[in-house]
Structure 1
């Protein structure tokens, strides 16, 4: 077995070097009791400064982005709130309009029903009033057969003196009419009295060549009734035209 050679390992001595323009030169060994300072590296210091500057730039950008995001969130909230309010106002306005239209329609229908009802009632009231008047006048004519003398006097006053006039009266009242006409002052003409058995007390007729007129109570009440009903019908037609012209409200 060959013999193992003996090698002596010497410890390495610290020999720092300094880089200068003339080259690398060794530094003197540190004194005892002092710690050797590591030489400053300008390249490393520049890199650290750039890194710090980059960090500050990134922090500034992050702050700007956070501020922008916060502003965008606030604007989005404001926009959403405004849109929600506008939508609510639009729905409220639509609801109010719909309710107003419903109320208006109900009021118009009620007015139409009231007008129709009152129109029917007015016709009934007119008929009732004329019926009462007819009964009252019939009783008055029974008490006073010459009840129509005033109407006869007015009718005769509107005729010419040269007109031939015939006054038909109930046969039972002929003497009363003869006496009444004899005592009427300033009568422009005196009609020829004719007893008519078809006439009742409270009825009389005036006949001329131009035509005849019935001055009886029933005839006059009939004229009054037709006048009332014509007036009511015209008023209903005018009301219907106004309602049709106004049209439905939106």
Structure 2
């Protein structure tokens, strides 16, 4: 085989692996692949209709990003979450949400408000139809629109950095049906605050929602981290 053909085959593999990495990253961040979950290479090769080579190239990218762990003879697993880091990150996010609310109260344009109304309606439809992943994605888009409405690029950059640390934890918590309903109800309150003249409650409501989300996320993560230890303890007690 000539060198150009080898190069062409390599480029196709790299392009394929990049797409697979994107799809796996989405599954991890939206909670479809929870922390600690084993990544079955054969199953994902069948799912994506690819060989192991591009799949493993994609997994190497996710290992470098810290989303996936690899151990020789054990294979690939979704990286666990750090409870203390999450707790500290949320403490900062509460303040950013409130600050964004204060700024957006006067800076949010009519065009942006119209987009928020459309997104909110789409989220309601996803909730009614039971489309959890779509609901979660639109939920995040609504928060981003409010952040953008604050018109402060420094705040937006810090927010994006912090959100990248908690995004997949939020996805895992969003799998909880009770929290899904609570989040839906809280977003109705947020929209009410956005529609009010002068939006005097917006900052307070956004902080309240952020704190409620954090409480649920931290509870779910703490439970997931304690389950293996508890299972091991129970197994030992049954011997």
The structure richer in helix per residue is 2
TM-score (norm 1): 0.27
TM-score (norm 2): 0.28
Tell me: higher relative CO, structure 1 or 2? Use CA pairs within 8 A at least 6 residues apart: 2
Which of 1 and 2 has greater Rg? Answer: 1
The structure richer in strand per residue is 1
